[in-house]
Amino acid sequence: MKRRVVVTGLGLVTPVGVGVKQTWESLCTGKSGAAEITHFDASAFPTKIAAEVKDFNPQDFMPKKDANRVEPFISFALAACRMAVEDSGLVINSSNESRVGTITGCGLGGLRFMEETVRKVTEQGPRRVSPFFIPMMIGNMVPGMISIHFGAKGPNSSLATACAAGAHAVGNSFRLIQDGTADAMITGGSEAVISPTCIAGFGSMKALSTRNDDPAKASRPFDRDRDGFVVGEGSGILVIEALGHALERGAPIYAEITGYGMSGDGYHMTSPPPDGSGAVRCMEAALEDATLDCSQIDYINAHGTSTELNDLYETRAIKTVFKEHAHSVAVSSTKSMTGHLLGGAGGIETVFTALSIHENMIPPTINYENQAKECDLDYVPNVARKAKVQNAMSNSFGFGGTNASLILSKYNK
């Protein structure tokens, strides 16, 4: 028998709040985190907007020395981790350290620091490169630093599966607990790449919104007038545990993870297949793993990037999987508010999915004003909805055709 796995701790650093309470309140009131870019001078760029984290001081969560030696994608994760571990009440010590692990996802790692270092090498020579350059840049330093700071000495790895990385991290952690390899895992995703190279790169693909005159309206998933996504940054971290382990120590339980599906499109470097077949296989695998019928899903936290093809093809995939139930299930994209956190998206969106179950509240898709052809599902337009959420799905799809779907359920004894 596979062990049951529950969510016992949550932590968030997002463009709409630092902390779970502030972020969730922002989502439920439809607040956008998009604004003009302040991390660098974007005046010469077609896209001048992003969803940056605001009012974040890493020294509130770690010693000054450590804060100065890590890139923002690491400090965001360490902060969210501290919140999640404290929220769960998990104590890691010599008696259990080898049974607590960490897996996180990150798409591009320390891209901002890499850009700065390349300029420094070019202008000042190799001797000016910081000895912390490599450890500050590599993506696996997130679980590495979590292990160092919190003493988790069990399974430790990092995933770089593009925009599905955070969700894959949660799913793989779920599997390790199910099969008995670990009793608890600290997992999720983090990203901080609002930088010239990132904005230029996605911009050259015509993937970004250029609605610079009204940033708060720029991310508009499934809307007829969507023109691309808004890059976001931040981190979402969860503590997940074997049910018996959580009950033994009286831990709070937000939700149970009941299903995990993965698939590959095998189609194109950046575009999903028009029929959404990769997403279909992924969602069907998660439903099968959870032993649920599609009619039992109450809410889907969609990948919903606000790009023309993703939103259309994900909608087609949902219609294929959910059939006559497709127009009854609530579907929303929280990226309409947070922007797209790339490798960190699956982390924060799994937290949002757990909260939707725990709070019986479905966050909206803001800026949904005009129905697009074929995008005609119930996208919870503009206003959060109070509803009993028994089972919810979270979708994350990445470049290269890598897909992840997670199913979370209300915990029942």
Q: Looking at residue 42, which CATH number applies to its domain? A: 3.40.47.10
Q: Is 255 part of a structural domain of the chain?
A: no
Q: Looking at residue 13, what DSSP letter applies?
A: E
Does residue 37 sit in the same domain as residue 122? yes
How many whole angstroms separate alpha carbon 108 and alpha carbon 358?
32
3-class secondary structure, 12? strand
Q: Two tokens at 291? A: 């032993």
Note whether residue 147 is domain-resident.
yes
Mean pLDDT confidence for 144-149: 96
**Does the pLDDT value for residue 69 go beyond 90?**
no
Mean pLDDT along residues 232-255:
98
Boundaries of domain holding 391:
261-402
Within 10 angstroms of residue 181's Cβ, the number of other Cβ atoms is 14
24 domain residue, yes or no: yes
| Residue 352 covered by a domain | yes
Same domain for 63 and 95?
Answer: yes
At residue 413, the pLDDT reads 85
The residues near 346 (Cβ < 8 Å, ≥ 6 apart) are 105, 163, 164, 165, 166, 167, 168, 169, 170, 188, 189, 236, 394, 396, 404, 406
Which amino acid is present at 23?
Answer: T
> With 90 as the cut, is the pLDDT of residue 92 above it?
yes
The number of folded domains in the chain is 2
298 with 230, same domain: the answer is: no
Q: 384-394: b or e for each residue (b if 16 or more CB lie within 10 Å)?
A: bbeeebebbbb
| For residues 264-277, average pLDDT | 95
Q: How far apart are CA 99 and CA 251, in angstroms?
A: 17
Structure-token match 């009941």, residue found: 258
Q: Per the domain annotation, does 208 fall within a domain?
A: yes
The mean of the pLDDT values for the chain is 97
Kindly state whether residue 179 falls inside one of the protein's structural domains: yes
Q: Which of 207, 227, 248 is the last residue of a domain?
A: 248
Write out the catalytic residue numbers.
Answer: 163, 303, 340
Q: Is 407 part of any domain?
A: no
- Max CA pair span of the chain: 64
| Residues 230/340, Cβ–Cβ less than 8 Å | yes
What Å distances lie between residue 5 and 170, 245, 273, CA to CA?
11, 9, 33
Would you say residue 147 has pLDDT above 90? yes
Extended beta strands in 226-265, E state: 234-242, 255-264
Q: Write the pLDDT tens digit of every residue in 159-210.
A: 999 999 999 999 999 999 999 999 999 999 999 999 999 999 999 999 999 9
Q: What is the pLDDT of residue 369?
A: 97
Same domain, 12 and 84: yes
Domain boundary among 248, 280, 315: 248
Residue 198 is predicted with a pLDDT of: 97
| pLDDT confidence of residue 296 | 98
* Same domain for 278 and 341: yes
Check whether residue 84 and residue 218 sit in a common domain. yes
3-class SS at 328?
coil
- Of 190, 223, 248, which marks where a domain is finished? 248
Q: Is residue 135 part of a domain?
A: yes
pLDDT tens per residue across span 337-373: 999 999 999 999 999 999 999 999 999 999 999 999 9
Helix (H, G, I), strand (E, B) or coil at 297: coil
Q: Binning pLDDT at 50, 70 and 90, where does residue 24 land? A: very high
pLDDT band, residue 136 (cuts 50/70/90): confident
Distance CA 411, CA 390 (A): 9
Whole-angstrom CA distances from 398 to 167, 215, 299 are: 10, 24, 21
Whether residue 159 is found in the same domain as residue 70 = yes
Specify the pLDDT at position 132. 87
Q: What is the pLDDT of residue 362?
A: 98
Asked if residue 271 and residue 227 are part of one domain, the reply reads: no
- Identify whether residues 319 and 395 lie together within a single domain: yes
Q: Same domain for 265 and 244? A: no
Q: d(Cα 100, Cα 295) in Å, to the nearest integer? A: 35
Q: Which two tokens stand for residue 120?
A: 């420094």
Predicted confidence (pLDDT) per residue in 322-336, tens digit: 999 999 999 999 999
Residues 277 and 136 in one domain: no
| 139 lies in the same domain as 276 | no
Q: Residue 255 is encoded by which pair of tokens?
A: 């939700």
pLDDT exceeds 90 at position 1: no
